[in-house]
């Protein structure tokens, strides 16, 4: 069972929800796909047992074979190659690793080598296996890391909680690819609603069953509730704004491991989600 | 010698463009004859590696000198490998910069900013 | 024109809250929202005019022409981005396609073309006294730095004479952030005093330092953890990073933002703290630096 946690906007509490849901499950895997700014491991402080580098392939041009015909430069849509003073130059960080230059070279002067763009750390924190994807600073795309994380997780039968990157761009779409259910975390501000809308459209497009958790709820009018009502989106739960929660989170504490009330809340939440997934399977096989 | 300058418009009184890689046009001036011409910069619309493509462009146009307010390190690598000297422009008047170059009033551009690291479609 | 960019690394730290207030205090007539994935600034800036809209064409996407396809599978085999799936017919998943052209190159029967489609929309608001440039990326599109560059270009094009332009940046450290930093004179980082906020702040500082822009750090909601606030302040001292000040958590701020107002529109705690930060920012911004000034 794979549960993805998303939010249109950063800072709504996506990691808070993802981390705590994983922590209350009997035996779970927490997968951090927010590879630009991974945060879950800060809460779990897992004991690491594995580290795997993730790399992409970049071209290597053999000068002794290269005829400087420039077919590779013409082909490259990303302008990663240049020819100066009879010498080919490759700009690694601009290269998208598509392999096209190698294919179009008429004299087979191009081979490929691996370039590390980040890594995956695996660790354990009590009942949770923690998988964290980390993109190296300066690299532009974390998608290969997300893909690797999900490939590793594909056949895992345990409850997997996928902490997605914020927003609704394609890194997010990649992250939810195997999800059986999507939890959308929203905050009751105009920014929150505006961004909830984007991510709601995304899960609808991918036909993923979904529900909303309202976080940082204050007294009074809650714009997010209205939005959900208008669009008939199921509200799974409401987390009130409590300085205490903020304080514990700022220290990297996992709520459900500190406090019984919070534990009950997240256990209920997880059970609700499991129930919905099972029902969905019955009604839409 | 041929002087290359990134410019905002393809007309004589144009201003120096703040960006090198994405300048809409390049102006090429022959310092001896004073003749000049404009060329559209195809690199401007690139998803990524604009500086590299623009640098290749001015190299292919046989520029000897480049006058620009700033330049990325990737473009700089291309330009320097080709033996082109890069000067920092002063103010945005093309005419004044060319005059300053003649009078040796321009300084070499020595700091190149970090690469404009490509434009991944899926980040 | 000088450009001031507000970044944070972590989302939700208050970038837009700070940027909108700075716009008000500076009486900036030129500003932009480079968080093209989830733009928010327009919700607070209350522009009067209808924006000029233009389509943003991103990377081309591959398209397989079913009638020509002989289903040899060469495209899928060679696609590095897993963007081609077979489901009775071979189809390209547009959100995964990076527009590299490899499938087109390997197709033996020329059944694949690269098509340019709209990936989003550029918006330009022109009130008589203010220019606001922003964009909205289509859901699922690639967050390309090119759109961010276009937002900035639009802003500069229409506002060459103004003194300071303020840019609301995007979270993260990737391509759109890097694109927004390019050419900017000053970066103000809004940090959150929490374990994840600090981790993200360090990564964005590292990213910004690669460019030779001036950098300054401020802390938002500092009272949510005095301990972490002090950690950030020490970090700034140890690393000689200019520190602009700190803003307390303020319930008034939330209410104001929800009403589409900035925190300096009304007298409140956060607004007062931000005014002090504003003074420091202006002083630092106006120090002589090596970056050319364009006097018009």
Q: Report the domain count for chain B.
A: 1
B53-92 residues touching A, CB cutoff 8 A: 53, 55-56, 59, 74, 77-78, 81-83
What is the span of the domain harbouring residue B92? 2-102
Residues A155-187: pLDDT tens digits? Answer: 999 999 999 998 777 789 899 999 999 999 998
Given C115, C136, C151, the domain boundary residue is: C115
pLDDT at C290: 38
CB neighbour list of residue B16: distance below 8 Å, 6 or more residues apart: B5, B6, B7, B8, B67, B68, B69, B89, B91, B92, B93, B94, B97
Per-residue pLDDT at A9: 76
Q: How far is C175 from chain B (nearest CA, A)?
A: 6
Chains with ≥3 CB–CB distances under 8 Å to A? B, C
pLDDT digits (tens, 9 = 90+) for A188-228: 888 888 888 888 988 998 899 999 999 988 877 777 888 89
One domain for residues C133 and C76: no
Complex prediction ipTM:
0.82
pLDDT of residue C212: 67
Considering only the beta carbons, identify the residue of C81, C174, C295 that sits closest to B123. Answer: C174
Q: Is the dihedral of CA A108, A113, A117, A123 positive or negative?
A: positive
Residue with tokens 């082909």: A75
To the nearest whole angstrom, how far is the Cα of C182 from the nearest Cα of chain B? Answer: 7
pLDDT reported for residue A30: 97
User: Within a domain: residue B107?
Assistant: no
CATH class, domain A2-54+119-283, is alpha beta
Chain C residues near residue A78 by CB distance under 8 angstroms: 100
Q: Do C12 and A99 touch (CB under 8 A)?
A: no
Number of domains in chain C: 2
Which residue of A36, A85, A96 is in closest CB contact with B81?
A85
Residues of chain B with pLDDT under 70: 113-123
The per-residue pLDDT for range A225-259, each reduced to its tens digit, is 888 999 999 999 999 888 788 888 888 889 898 88
Q: What is the domain partition of chain A in residue ranges? A: 2-54+119-283, 63-108
pLDDT digits (tens, 9 = 90+) for C143-192: 567 788 889 888 887 776 667 899 999 887 766 787 788 778 899 999 99
Model confidence pLDDT, tens digit, residues C98-128: 899 999 999 999 999 999 888 889 999 998 8
C154 and C199 housed in the same domain: yes
Q: C289 vs A233, which has greater pLDDT?
A: A233
Identify which has the larger pLDDT, C216 or C214: C216
Q: Are A173 and C251 a contacting pair at CB < 8 A?
A: no
Q: Tell me: do C92 and C239 sit in the same domain.
A: no
Cβ–Cβ gap A94/B82 under 8 Å: no
* C265 and C208 fall within a common domain: yes
The reply to whether C111 and C140 lie within a common domain is no
Q: Is residue C291 part of a domain?
A: no
Q: Residues C264, C195: one domain?
A: yes
State the CATH number of the domain containing residue B80. 3.30.420.130
Query: Do both C104 and C137 map to the same domain?
Result: no
User: What pLDDT does residue C117 have?
Assistant: 84
On whether residue C292 sits in a domain, the answer given is no
CA distance C26 to chain B (A): 23
Angle between helices C269-285 and C251-258 (to 10 degrees): 80
pLDDT in tens, A42-99: 999 999 999 999 999 999 999 999 999 999 999 998 888 988 888 898 888 788 899 9
Q: Per-residue pLDDT for C292 more than 60?
A: no
In this prediction, residue C257 carries a pLDDT of 87
Residue B122 in any domain: the answer is no
Terminal Cα distance for chain A, rounded? 15
What is the C-alpha separation between C267 and C87, in angstroms, rounded?
A: 61
Q: pLDDT at position C289, please?
A: 46
Residue A195: the pLDDT is 83
Q: Are residues C9 and C50 in the same domain?
A: yes
* Domain annotation covers residue C296: no
Kindly state whether residues C155 and C263 are assigned to the same domain.
Answer: yes
Domain boundary pick from C115, C135, C151: C115
Q: What is the pLDDT of residue C191?
A: 95
CB < 8 Å to B49, chain C? none
What is the CATH number that goes with domain A63-108? Answer: 3.30.70.20
Q: What is the mean pLDDT of chain C?
A: 87
Q: Which residue has the tokens 């937002």?
A: C151
Give a three-class secondary structure readout of C234-262: HHHHHCCCCEEEEECCCHHHHHHHHCCCC
Q: Is C291 a residue whose pLDDT tops 50?
A: no
Q: Looking at CA atoms only, how far is residue C205 from chain B in angstroms?
A: 14
Complete DSSP assignment for A24-85: HSSSEEEEE--TTS--HHHHH-PEEEEEEEEEEEEEEE-TTT-----HHHHH-TT--EEEET
Dihedral over Cα of A214, A217, A223, A229: its sign: positive
Q: What is the CATH number of the domain that holds C16?
A: 3.40.50.300
Question: Which pLDDT does position C295 carry in this prediction?
Answer: 29
Its domain, for residue C31, covers 2-56+121-285
**Cβ-defined contacts of C79-88 (< 8 Å, 24+):** C79/C103, C80/A57, C80/A97, C80/A98, C80/A99, C81/A98, C81/A143, C81/B122, C82/A147
In this structure, are C217 and C262 located in the same domain? yes
The pLDDT of residue C160: 62
- Which pLDDT does position A130 carry in this prediction? 97
pLDDT value at residue C119 = 82
C residues 110-139 lying closer than 8 A (beta carbon) to A = 137, 139
- Give tens-digit pLDDT for C21-80: 999 999 988 999 998 877 889 989 988 889 999 998 877 899 999 999 999 999 999 999
């Amino acid at each position: 069972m794979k549960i993805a946690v998303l939010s249109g906007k950063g800072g709504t509490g996506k990691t808070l929800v993802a981390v705590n849901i994983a922590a209350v499950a009997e035996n779970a895997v927490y997968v951090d796909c927010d590879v630009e700014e991974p945060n879950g491991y800060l809460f779990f402080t897992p004991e690491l047992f594995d580290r795997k580098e993730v790399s992409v392939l970049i071209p290597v041009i053999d000068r002794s074979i290269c005829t400087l015909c420039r077919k590779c430069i013409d082909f490259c849509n990303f302008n990663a190659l240049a020819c100066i003073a009879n010498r080919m130059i490759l700009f690694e960080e601009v290269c998208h690793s598509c392999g096209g230059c190698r294919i179009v070279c008429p004299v087979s002067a191009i081979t490929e080598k691996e370039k590390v763009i980040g890594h995956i750390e695996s660790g354990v924190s009590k009942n949770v296996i923690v998988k964290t994807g980390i993109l190296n600073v300066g690299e532009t795309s974390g998608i290969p890391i997300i893909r690797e994380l999900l490939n590793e997780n594909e056949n895992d039968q345990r409850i997997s909680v996928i902490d997605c990157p914020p927003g609704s761009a394609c890194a997010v779409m990649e992250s939810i690819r195997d999800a059986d259910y999507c939890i959308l975390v929203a905050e009751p501000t105009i920014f929150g609603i505006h961004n909830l809308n984007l991510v709601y459209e995304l899960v609808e497009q991918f036909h993923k069953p979904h529900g909303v958790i309202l976080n940082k709820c204050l007294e009074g009018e809650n714009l997010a509730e209205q939005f959900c009502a208008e669009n008939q989106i199921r509200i799974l739960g409401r987390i009130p704004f409590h300085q205490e929660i903020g304080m514990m989170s700022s220290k990297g504490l996992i709520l459900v491991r500190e406090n019984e009330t919070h534990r009950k809340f997240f256990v209920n939440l997880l059970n609700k989600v499991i129930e919905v997934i099972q029902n969905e399977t019955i009604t839409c096989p | 010698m041929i002087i290359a300058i990134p410019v905002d418009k393809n007309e004589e009184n144009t201003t120096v463009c703040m960006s090198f890689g994405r300048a809409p046009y390049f102006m090429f001036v022959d310092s001896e004859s004073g003749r000049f011409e404009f060329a559209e910069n195809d690199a401007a619309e690139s998803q990524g590696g604009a500086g590299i493509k623009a640098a290749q462009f001015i190299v292919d146009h046989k520029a000897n000198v480049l006058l620009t307010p700033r330049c990325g390190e990737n473009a700089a690598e291309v330009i320097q490998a080709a033996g082109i000297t890069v000067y920092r422009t002063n103010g945005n008047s093309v005419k004044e910069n060319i005059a300053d170059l003649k009078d040796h009033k321009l300084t070499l551009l020595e700091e190149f900013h970090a690469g404009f690291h490509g434009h991944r479609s899926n980040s | 024109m000088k450009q001031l960019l507000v970044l944070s690394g972590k989302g939700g730290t208050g970038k837009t809250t700070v940027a909108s207030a700075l716009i008000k205090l500076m009486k900036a007539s030129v500003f932009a929202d480079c968080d093209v994935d989830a733009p928010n600034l327009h919700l607070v800036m209350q522009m009067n005019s209808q924006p000029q809209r233009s389509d943003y064409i991103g990377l081309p996407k591959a398209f397989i022409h079913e009638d020509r396809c002989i289903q040899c599978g060469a495209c899928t085999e060679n696609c590095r981005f897993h963007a081609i799936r077979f489901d009775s017919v071979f189809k390209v998943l547009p959100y995964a396609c990076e527009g590299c052209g490899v499938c087109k190159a390997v197709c033996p029967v020329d059944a694949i073309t690269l098509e340019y489609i709209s990936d989003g929309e550029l918006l330009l608001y022109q009130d008589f006294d203010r220019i606001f440039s922003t964009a909205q990326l289509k859901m699922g599109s690639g967050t390309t730095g090119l759109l961010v560059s276009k937002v900035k270009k639009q802003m500069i094009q229409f506002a060459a004479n103004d003194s300071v332009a303020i840019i609301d940046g995007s979270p993260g450290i990737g391509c759109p952030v890097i694109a927004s930093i390019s050419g900017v004179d000053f970066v103000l980082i809004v940090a959150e005093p929490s374990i994840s906020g600090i981790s993200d702040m360090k990564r964005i500082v590292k990213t910004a330092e690669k460019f030779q822009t001036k950098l300054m750090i401020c802390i938002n909601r500092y009272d949510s953890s005095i301990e972490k606030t002090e950690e950030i302040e020490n970090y700034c001292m140890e690393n000689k990073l200019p520190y602009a000040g700190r803003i307390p958590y303020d319930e008034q701020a939330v209410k104001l933002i929800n009403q589409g107002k900035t925190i300096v529109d009304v007298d409140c705690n956060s607004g007062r703290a931000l005014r002090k930060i504003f003074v420091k920012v202006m002083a630092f911004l106006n120090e002589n630096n090596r970056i050319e000034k364009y006097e018009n």
